[in-house]
Amino acid sequence: MSVETAVETKTIFGSEVPQPPQHGAAGGVMRGLNFGTGLVGGIGLAAVAGWITAILTPSSASNASFAPMEPTYVYLAVLLGWVVGFMLGIGAFVGPLRWVVGRDVTHADAEYMAGKDLGRKRYWKYTTDHKVVGIQYLIVTMLLLGFAGLLAMLIRTELGMTWTSLFTPAFYNSMIGTHGIAMIIGMIVVVSGPLGNFIVPMMIGARDMAFPRLNALSLWLFVAAVPMLVSSMFMGGIQDGWSVYQPLASQAPVGMLGYQMTIIVFAISTAVASVNLMTTILTMRAKGMTWSRTPIFVYGIFAASIMGLYAFPFFQYSQILGLADRVFATSFFDPLNGGSVWLYENLFWLLGHPEVYVILIPSTAVALELMPVFLRKPLFSFNFAVAGIVGVVALSGLVWAHHMYMTGWAPAANYPFMLSTELISIPVGFLVLVAIGTFWRGTAWTRLPLMAVYAVIFNKMIGGVTGVYLSDVPADQYFHGSMFVVAHFHFMLMGAGLFGAMAGIAYFFPKMTGRFLDERTGSIGLWTAFVGFQITFISMFVAGLQGQPRRVLDFDDQFNLSNWISTIGAYVIGIGMLIFLSAIINSWRSGVIASSNPWGSKSLEWQTETPVPLENFPVLPVVTERPYNYGVPDPYEAELDSIDEDLTEKAGTK
C-alpha cells in the first residue's frame, strides 16, 4: 500500500481536509470540454460509425420481408455514435475513468466542476452544481416543449383546414406521434428537472444533491436523447402515435429507431435522476427536518421519483425488445413466430399510467406548496396531502390495463382494473380537498403564481371527472380511440401539468434568476392561454362525444364546426404561451430585482441570499417547526399582539 507522505490539506467549512494529489490545473481534462466539444464528438462519432457500418453491411442484407437492412443498421450506428460521442465529448466519462484508475477528484477539481468562477460558461459545461443543472433543465425543457408546441400548431392547422390537406397522411401521423412523445418527455421533466434540481436541495437545507456528477449525467443524457427523437422525423417518422403500438411499430419506417433509442437513453437519465433525488431527500435533510416538517413539494418530487424508478424500466425494455425485433429479427411482438402485441401493450402501460402521475403529482405539489404562502395559512391537513400522495403512488402500478379495455386482452380483467382506477380517485380526491380546504376562508394574495394555481384546480377537476368516465368499461367502448380521450388527457397533462409548472416557475423565478417574473405580461399570457385552452379542449370533448376518431386527418363534415373552434382556441393558446414566454425572457434579462424572500415564505430555500451562493448555505440551517406555520402565533408574537391590541383599544375609545 503506497502511503502519500505530507498530504496536502484544504480548508472546507472550517476543517482541514486531506487532499488526494492534484494533477495539473483544477478540473483537469474537463477544462477543455463543453457542449461544443460534445457536439463535435457526437456528430463526429455518428458520422464515422454510420460510414463504417455502411461499408461493412453487404448490400444484400435484408429482413424476412426482403426489405434492405442497410438503412436500419446505418441509422442505428449513427444514433449510438451520437450518444456515445456526445457524452464522451462533454466529459461524462472522465469521472468514472478517474475513479477506476484511482485519481480521485480534489476539492479544487470539484469546485471547478461545480462551475466556480466560470461565469456564464458553466451553463455550457458538464457542471455539477445543482442550481446550474436546474437552469439547464429549464432551458432544454422549454426548447423541447416549444418544438412539440410548434407541431401542435401544425396539427391543429391541418385539422382546422377541413377543406384541404396541408400534409400527407404519413407526415401528419408522424407529427402526431412526435408531438405526443416530445410533450410527454417534456412534461415528465418540466417540474422535477428545473425545480427538483434547483429548489429541492435548498428546500431541505442541503448544499448540493447527493451525487452531483450523476446530476450532470442525467441532464446531459436527456440532452443527448432529444435530438434522436427529432431526427426520426427525417427518417420516416413515428407514425403510430406516441405509444407506438406493435405491430405498427415494427412495420414503421426506420425512424422508429429514433424513438426507441430516445426512450432507452431517456430512461437511463430518469433512473439516474430519480436515484439522485431520492437519496438527496432521504439522507440530506437539514437537522430537525422530520417527515412532518418536510415541505409537500419535496414529497411530490419524491413520489414522482419512486414511480419513475420502478416504472420506467418497463418502458425501456418494451423499446429494447422492439429494437431487437427490428434489428436482430427476434420475435417478441411478431405473432407469426410466437410473439404477442399484448406483451408490448402491457409493458408500455406498466410505465404509461404511473408516468401520468409522474407528471401530475409534482405539479400538484407545486400548487400545494405555494398556496399556504399566498393564503398565509397552513396547508389544510398536511397529513391528508401526504396520504393522498402515498395513496397515488401505492395504486399507480395497479391500473395500467384501463388503457387496454378495448384491445381484447383479458376481458375478465377489465372490471378489476375499472375498480382500481376508480379507487385512485380517492387519494386524488384527498389532494383536491386539501387544496379547497386551504382556500377555505383564506385571504388570497393573488399574485401570478396563485393565478396559475386557480387554473390548475379548474382544469384538474375537468380532467379528473372525464377520466372517471373513461375508466368505466361500458362508457369507454364508445369513448376509446376518440377525441374525447385526447381532450381528457390534455386537461390533465397541459391543464394541470403545464399550468402547474407555470405556477412553479413564476413562484421560484425570483430565487432562480434574482428577478420577478413580470406580473402584467405574465398574467396576460397565462389567462390568454387558459381561455384558449378551454376553447380548444371543451370543443374537442364535443367532437369526441360526436364520435370523431383521434389520429385521423380527414374526417366527416359533421365534425367541422368543433374542429374549427378547437383550431381557433389553439391559436389563442399559442399567443398566450408566446406572451408568457416573452415575460420569462424579458424578466430574466431586465425584470424587477427581487429580494431574497419576496413572498415572505417560511421555507428554507428562501432563507438564503439571492443569487444563491455556490454552497447554498454558509452555515447549514436547523429546522424547528412545521413548514407552513403562517398565521400561527408563536408565544412571543402573541404577546406583542396583545400589547398592540391594547393600543388599538385605547385608540378606539379615544
Partner 1 sequence: MSTSTFPVSPTTGEPISTIARRSRLGLWLVIVADIAGTIALVISYTYLWSLNVNGGWAPPGATLTANQTNSTLPTTPSTATFAVEWPFWGILLVLIVATALMWFGYRSARSGNHAGLIAGAGLSFLVTVAVLVFQWIQMSTFPFGAGDGAYASAVLLLCASNIFHLFLLLFIGMGIFMRARKGLIDKTNWYQAQLASYYMTWVCIAFLLGAILTTFLVESPNTDPAIFGTFKQQ
Hey, which residues between 315 and 374 contact Cu ion (CB under 5 A)? 353
Q: Which is nearer to ligand HEM, 86 or 259 (CB)?
A: 259
Residue 314 touches which of Cu ion, ligand HEM, partner 1, none (CB < 5 to 8 A by kind)?
partner 1
Q: Nearest distance from residue 230's CB to ligand HEM, in Å?
A: 21
Q: Which is nearer to ligand HEM, 135 or 486 (CB)?
A: 486
Residue 156 touches which of Cu ion, partner 1, ligand HEM, none (CB < 5 to 8 A by kind)?
none
Distance CA 116, CA 33 (A): 15
Residue 6 touches which of Cu ion, ligand HEM, partner 1, none (CB < 5 to 8 A by kind)?
none
Residue 489 touches which of ligand HEM, partner 1, Cu ion, none (CB < 5 to 8 A by kind)?
ligand HEM
Peptide bond into 611 cis (omega under 30): yes
List the x/- string, 156-195, binding to partner 1 by CB under 8 A: ----------------------------------------
Rule CB under 5 A: is residue 480 a binding residue for Cu ion? Answer: no
Distance CA 321, CA 325 (A): 6
Site residues for partner 1, window 16-45 (CB under 8 A)? 16-20
Residue 243 touches which of partner 1, ligand HEM, Cu ion, none (CB < 5 to 8 A by kind)?
ligand HEM
Residue 467 touches which of Cu ion, partner 1, ligand HEM, none (CB < 5 to 8 A by kind)?
ligand HEM
Handedness of CA 237, 241, 243, 249 (dihedral sign): negative
Of 9-17, 178-186, 412-420, 574-582, the segment contacting partner 1 by CB under 8 A is 9-17
End-to-end CA distance of the chain: 87
With CB under 8 A as the contact rule, the residue among 106, 192, 218, 513 that binds partner 1 is 106
Task: Please list the helix, strand and coil fractions of the chain in percent, rounded to the nearest 5, in that order.
Answer: 70, 0, 30
Q: Kindly tell me the burial class for residue 59, based on how many C-beta atoms sit within 10 Å of its own C-beta (0-12, 13-18, 19 or more).
A: exposed
The residue to which cell 382494473 is assigned = 417
Which grid coordinates are listed for 438?
386551504
Residue 317 touches which of Cu ion, ligand HEM, partner 1, none (CB < 5 to 8 A by kind)?
partner 1
The DSSP result for 254-299, as a single string, is TTHHHHHHHHHHHHHHHHHHHHHHHHHHHH-PPBT--GGGS-HHHH
Q: Nearest distance from residue 233's CB to ligand HEM, in Å?
A: 19
Phi, psi of 118, deg, nearest 5: -95, -5
Rule CB under 8 A: is residue 321 a binding residue for partner 1? Answer: yes
Contacts of 634 (CB under 8 A, 6+ apart): none
With CB under 8 A as the contact rule, the residue among 29, 62, 68, 99 that binds partner 1 is 99
The answer to whether the beta carbons of residues 548 and 559 sit under 8 Å apart is yes
Rule CB under 8 A: is residue 291 a binding residue for partner 1? Answer: no
Residue 643 touches which of Cu ion, partner 1, ligand HEM, none (CB < 5 to 8 A by kind)?
none
The residue to which cell 379528473 is assigned = 464
Rule CB under 8 A: is residue 279 a binding residue for partner 1? Answer: yes
Residue with smallest beta-carbon separation from Cu ion:
353
> Shortest CA distance to 217 belongs to which of 268, 283, 263?
268
Residue 136 touches which of ligand HEM, partner 1, Cu ion, none (CB < 5 to 8 A by kind)?
none
Peptide bond into 247 cis (omega under 30): yes
Q: Nearest distance from residue 499's CB to partner 1, in Å?
A: 30
Q: Which is nearer to ligand HEM, 185 or 356 (CB)?
A: 356
Which grid coordinates are listed for 153?
400548431
Rule CB under 5 A: is residue 488 a binding residue for Cu ion? Answer: no
Of 104-112, 229-237, 557-565, 589-597, the segment contacting partner 1 by CB under 8 A is 104-112
Distance CA 233, CA 256 (A): 9
Q: Kindly tell me the burial class for residue 7, based on how many C-beta atoms sit within 10 Å of its own C-beta (0-12, 13-18, 19 or more).
A: exposed
Residue 154 touches which of Cu ion, ligand HEM, partner 1, none (CB < 5 to 8 A by kind)?
none
The answer to whether the beta carbons of residues 577 and 499 sit under 8 Å apart is no
> Shortest CA distance to 22 belongs to which of 79, 97, 107?
107
CA angle 320, 321, 326 (to 5 degrees): 95
Q: Which is nearer to partner 1, 143 or 282 (CB)?
A: 282
The answer to whether the beta carbons of residues 351 and 315 sit under 8 Å apart is yes
Q: Nearest distance from residue 464's CB to ligand HEM, in Å?
A: 4
Chain contacts with ligand HEM (rule: CB under 6 A): 243, 356, 359-360, 402-403, 421, 425, 428, 464, 467-468, 470-471, 476, 479-480, 485, 488-489, 492-493, 497
Rule CB under 8 A: is residue 247 a binding residue for partner 1? Answer: yes
The residue to which cell 408565544 is assigned = 635
Distance CA 500, CA 511 (A): 18
Rule CB under 8 A: is residue 635 a binding residue for partner 1? Answer: no
Neighbours of 198 (CB within 10 A): 25
Beta-sheet pairing, 9-12 with 15-18: antiparallel
Q: Which is nearer to partner 1, 60 or 65 (CB)?
A: 65
Residue 470 touches which of ligand HEM, Cu ion, partner 1, none (CB < 5 to 8 A by kind)?
ligand HEM
Q: Nearest distance from residue 470's CB to ligand HEM, in Å?
A: 4
Rule CB under 5 A: is residue 377 a binding residue for Cu ion? Answer: no
Rule CB under 8 A: is residue 316 a binding residue for partner 1? Answer: yes
- The DSSP bridge partners found for residue 482 are 549
Q: Which is nearer to ligand HEM, 245 or 310 (CB)?
A: 245
Phi, psi of 123, deg, nearest 5: -75, -15
Q: Which is nearer to ligand HEM, 373 or 542 (CB)?
A: 542
Site residues for partner 1, window 210-229 (CB under 8 A)? 210-211
Rule CB under 8 A: is residue 107 a binding residue for partner 1? Answer: yes
Site residues for partner 1, window 440-479 (CB under 8 A)? none
Q: Which is nearer to Cu ion, 297 or 400 (CB)?
A: 400
Rule CB under 8 A: is residue 310 a binding residue for partner 1? Answer: yes
Cα distances from 607 to residues 379, 452, 601, 603, 619, in angstroms, run 20, 24, 8, 7, 12
Q: Nearest distance from residue 399's CB to ligand HEM, in Å?
A: 8
Neighbours of 594 (CB within 10 A): 18
How many CA atoms within 13 Å lie on the side-chain side of 333?
27
Q: Nearest distance from residue 326's CB to partner 1, in Å?
A: 11
> Shortest CA distance to 194 belongs to which of 251, 282, 277?
277
> Shortest CA distance to 453 belongs to which of 523, 398, 391, 380?
523
- The DSSP bridge partners found for residue 497 are none
For residues 385, 449, 188 and 483, what is the CA-based torsion angle, rounded to 10 degrees?
100
Q: Nearest distance from residue 403's CB to Cu ion, in Å?
A: 5
CA angle 192, 211, 129 (to 5 degrees): 70
Residue 538 touches which of ligand HEM, partner 1, Cu ion, none (CB < 5 to 8 A by kind)?
none
Query: How many positions of this chain bind partner 1 (CB under 8 A)?
Result: 74
Q: Which is nearer to partner 1, 276 or 396 (CB)?
A: 276
Q: Nearest distance from residue 6's CB to partner 1, in Å?
A: 12
Distance CA 253, CA 255 (A): 5
Q: What does the binding site for Cu ion look like in residue numbers (CB under 5 A)?
A: 353
